[in-house]
Chains A and B, each alone.
Chain A
């Protein structure tokens, strides 16, 4: 590896099953595969499995569960309705059928799920269980560490998927770098599960400067899995369904605990409860908050009724279990009030919409997968936030999907194809080119990240643009992002960590280009809370279909250029290919 400024060795590794990402889905799939008798499983995690991904800070509710009297179909229907119809009913149903098994799995690991005196789960609603889950990620990590047949390797950045030779390419393995040693890992695996999570940092964050990483979704989930899939020519779905979360201002802590646990309501500056005016899907609730502020009736506060005995402390505990900055903020407010001799303010928070994220656990975006969770690249599976078509899966749905994928992987052929060595070399060369000696450009990684996030914010419906975008703006976004990607290709890195950060920027840029194409192609406004298309401001019933995409070229981007995408329109139920909307025989206006 002469291109690198550190002495890097190359290690060749062979494994039966490779799992990329040791988060919720990755841990669950690894454990299930080992239980099914797989004896050669390798989990690669960029951080440490003990605290990584969405659950680094913990969780205080299991938001997907099928309570007494309800059926998996009820949950699937609810999720599809909440997504305004854009989801795969088969994926949703099979995910829903596994929800209660996922709850049992977490309970078997030691997660304490609250029960009443008769032993029944204490629920917040028919689909929502309370837990104090500060320890959920250590429990999931404990389920795979030292388990027979399972190897876990941490601080490893996987940067490319390798494939067999064309035209019927299938997965052949992956390329990675050890972040501690800087060594390059060439991994051969006939079966690969992607469980890398969704994407944050595509858009300018809620607040700049010291708060730029105080996001709802982990800023370390940069969409690397999506990017690897896009570069490998996998079919992606519904990237245009971005997710905007309604969150506590400043800390970006979840609001559901205050709303469901504390009975809190959103109130505008006049003290009016306005929720009923806008409807009750997730997108509509986000829109309600925004519209009221646009009317000049902000700030919008989520306020709990007068707290009863001990309720304040229980709320603090609930938040310490998942978003510890929020109780820190409350305690600071309390201290201020006491110091001034004022009464302690009621529990509550100003709430606002986050910047848009790509997250398949909430929205439908991600890899287009079949009912076995296999992607369009044979041998490559996806589960959790990286997998599309199956919104509202949350933690338990990610586990359910991981189990489905694990079962499919265990029952599929173990023989791997011959790797396309030329393609692997191209990936490696492109990834390491940044380490080559030469003149340093005048920009640095952080500046390019800021430039990309600003372009997306302004021209592709970010928070700063009121989540609105137009065809003209999207074209500007695309050309700007492509230009920045070209600049990013020449970034130099002096350490494995810096090279990893440069790769993360490039991964976001790849995802951004695909996303902008998706926004352009869905010519309607289906989820106004998440985004409004100025050229097509209404929902078009004819566009109840999947917008999918596939990058035409396979391999690394040349000078940052991602190149052309093919857009594929599919029937929501059969998955059959449909004529492009607006063309002869196609749907839509």
Chain B
């Protein structure tokens, strides 16, 4: 599994479809939800996650890449971008990406 759109959360705004650098996402025929048309062509850049305010677009690592079921989404809060990683057990961790703050790594 790579990029996935949760049809229960997606409202079909099309934001993810618009930004995907590979054009691999599209809208369902009824226009109610985005769908991954070419999921195996996903690069993993997470552009779609950053557009999705509902957490419907997610990214996970395939088992071959060391994936163990965690699902990554993104959200914005106070103008800041956060990535949220939800593990298989249901617990999760969020990391602020912090494009504004200096860091020394």
Contacts and interface: CB of A to CB of B under 8 A. Distances in A.
A112 B19 contact: no
A115 B95 contact: no
Contacts of B85: 328, 331-332
B103 A213 contact: no
B38 to A, nearest CB: 9
A210 B66 contact: no
Contact of A56 (B21, B64, B103): B21
Nearest to A335: B87
Interface stretch (A314-322, A375-383, A412-420): A314-322
B4 interface: no
Nearest to A311: B105
A332 B89 CA distance: 12
A135 interface: yes
A328 B43 contact: no
A179 B18 CA distance: 12
Nearest to A316: B95
Interface in A8-61: 46-48, 50-53, 56-57
Nearest to A212: B40
Contacts of B62: 209-211
Interface residues of A, number: 58
A425 to B, nearest CB: 28
B32 interface: no
A50 B16 CA distance: 11
Given A114-B103, A115-B102, A335-B87, A155 B21 contact: no
Chain B, interface size category, equals: 35 or more
Nearest to A112: B100
Interface in A292-327: 311, 313-318, 320-321, 324-325, 327
A261 interface: yes
Contacts of A329: 61, 65-67
Nearest to A336: B68
Interface string B59-91: 111101111101010000000010101010100
A335 B70 contact: yes
9 contacts: A134-B97, A209-B64, A213-B43, A218-B45, A250-B66, A315-B105, A320-B83, A329-B65, A332-B66
- In the A-B complex, list the 10 residue pairs whose CB atoms are closest, starting with the nearest: A51-B47, A210-B62, A57-B45, A114-B102, A314-B105, A56-B45, A250-B65, A261-B105, A56-B21, A51-B19
